[in-house]
Amino acid sequence: MDFARLLVSPIVGSIIGYFTNWLAIKMLFRPHREIRFFNLKLPFTPGIIPKEKERIAKSVGNATGKYILSEEVIIKSLLNEEVIEGINKIITDTYNDIFHKDKTLNDFLNYVLEDNKEENIEFLNKKVSSFIIAYLSREENLDFVTKYITDFIQDKLDTNIEDINFKEFIKIDFIKDDSFKQWVLNQITACRKYLSNDEISLSNIIPDIFVETAMDFVRSQATEWMPLILKIMDQTAIENKIKDILQEFIQKNLGKFTLIFVDIDKLYNKIRNYLKDYIQEEENQKEILKQINIFINQILEKPISQWLDKIDFINDENELEKRYDNIIFYLNNTEKIDILKEKIKDYIVNQEERNLLKIIKAFKIDVIYEIEKRIKRYLTYLINKEDFIELIKSLVNKELERLFSTPVNKFIENMGNSVEMHIKNFVLKLYKEFVIKQSPYFIKQLDISDIVENRIIEFDTDEMEEIILSVVDRELKVITWLGGLLGFIIGFVPVLFG
């Protein structure tokens, strides 16, 4: 009986110690809300954790951001060997997936852009086309392109005639084509309509340089041409024709009777001798040239429509076509075409000047400057033309389609196995530089302390209790049983001293 009494106090102490610790742990979480009785707040309501939830959340957040997930810890974790090895594996897998399966850029665009692919490609086309047009439109670039084309033309022209392959160069076989025939007839008809204007003369369509060249040529050859007139008159046919004209003139104006007293042969010889003496005088030669110039100018100023009226077939389309067919019929065999080519070749080759560029410059000394000026003017006109802009867009679009449809592995097929290693080194270098230089900024913006604090506040009390108990449930049970043990010991002390 005495032994039973000895155990009562320790057992009661043990029960009290166990229950008080169990109750204290429960009161950490419960009750969840404040309880009032007759409008009086019951003490210890709500529980410690629900009551101090915001303070606890802030403290845990600060501790996590400062000690657990600090900037140094995160950077160190991002650069540890396991992460680097994982990135290497991702690069290898991605490389093998891209370069060993014939995937094209189109496949990636479909994956990344989905339904917006066409819209983005069109946007890219417009941007590239606009850049090309803007680039070509700049004065310095326009000058560069112009000079490049001009230099190319000058280089091709700066060659000796004998170096030209005339058989390949002279192409006239196209005259057999029906489309060319129709084009020629249309051009003649259009030209006829244009030239029928009474205000248009030869001087309007023949360049001044040609007229001046012709005049200079006539003046330079005058001394040789004057004796030629006498040689022409000495020809039997010409002599007889002139005598017939003189006889007809005398007969009409003086009567047939006068012919009895006139010796036509003597009269012709007198006229010839007079012309010979006349044209040998330098002043008379100048006068003859002057009259020739006047005659040429009169021809040049005469309306072309008057010349056209005298050409019957040019105003009749059927006749015009017949004349064209006759010419083509004559030329429409290999032998005649070859002969025509040979004649053109012989004419060109037999020129005194052998250099093609010098031959052209003989007609116009500043021909290269004129070519350059015309090319630049045409390029300026062309660049601003809507058709040219559309052409650039079309070409860019074709190149983009070709580029996007080409397997990616085709771009590196001749670069060897080092490509994968270079890609790895490049990506890892970028990754490490980003982590070291940029991650402090992102970690600061991320604000881990604030994230943890807000997340804890978002939990309701039941969730917090479940989370805490999942971590320290065993330890709390130990504390509860430890309370029972301490209660037993404390209850045994009075018995021991009693």
- Rg of the chain, C-alpha, whole Å: 55
Same-domain status, 310 and 391: no
Write out pLDDT tens, residues 332-344: 666 666 666 676 6
Quote the strand ranges of 126-234, DSSP E. Answer: none
Same-domain status, 217 and 307: yes
Instruction: Judge contact between 263 and 217, C-beta under 8 A.
Output: no
Same-domain status, 182 and 129: no
C-alpha to C-alpha distance for 488 and 442, rounded to whole angstroms = 56
CA angle (429, 433, 434) in 5-degree steps: 115
Residue 331 domain flag: yes
Q: Which of 339, 369, 399 is where one domain is finished?
A: 369
Would the pLDDT of 273 be above 80?
A: no
C-alpha to C-alpha distance for 405 and 107, rounded to whole angstroms = 9
Would the pLDDT of 175 be above 70?
A: no
Specify the pLDDT at position 1: 47
Same-domain status, 140 and 202: no
Residue 494 domain flag: no
Same-domain status, 236 and 333: yes
Same-domain status, 191 and 241: yes
Instruction: Judge contact between 160 and 356, C-beta under 8 A.
Output: yes
Strand partners, 40: 37
Q: Write the single-letter amino acid at 290.
A: K
Least confident of 119-123, 350-354, 484-488: 350-354
Residue 28 domain flag: no
Closest CA to 452 of 8, 65, 27: 65
Same-domain status, 389 and 329: no
pTM: 0.41
Mean pLDDT of the chain: 76
Per DSSP, helices labelled H in 367-460 are 367-383, 386-404, 418-437, 439-446, 448-458
Write out pLDDT tens, residues 275-321: 777 777 777 777 777 877 887 787 777 777 776 666 666 666 677 67
- Domain tally for the chain? 2
Longest Cα separation, the chain: 201
Residue 426 domain flag: no
Residue 312 domain flag: yes
Specify the pLDDT at position 418: 72
Same-domain status, 129 and 206: no
Same-domain status, 292 and 343: yes
What letter does residue 65 receive in the DSSP assignment?
I
Write out pLDDT tens, residues 238-266: 777 777 776 776 666 666 655 566 667 77
Q: What mean pLDDT is predicted for residues 345-361?
A: 67
C-alpha to C-alpha distance for 117 and 111, rounded to whole angstroms = 9
Same-domain status, 117 and 187: no
Same-domain status, 273 and 388: no
Residue 270 domain flag: yes
What does the buried/exposed string (b/e) look like for 404-430 if buried means 16 or more CB atoms within 10 Å of the residue's CB? Answer: eeeeeeeeeeeeeeeeeeebeeeeeee
What letter does residue 68 receive in the DSSP assignment?
I
Write out pLDDT tens, residues 81-95: 888 888 888 888 877
Domain range holding 124?
Answer: 99-153+377-415
Residue 128 domain flag: yes
Same-domain status, 390 and 298: no
Closest CA to 419 of 56, 94, 76: 94
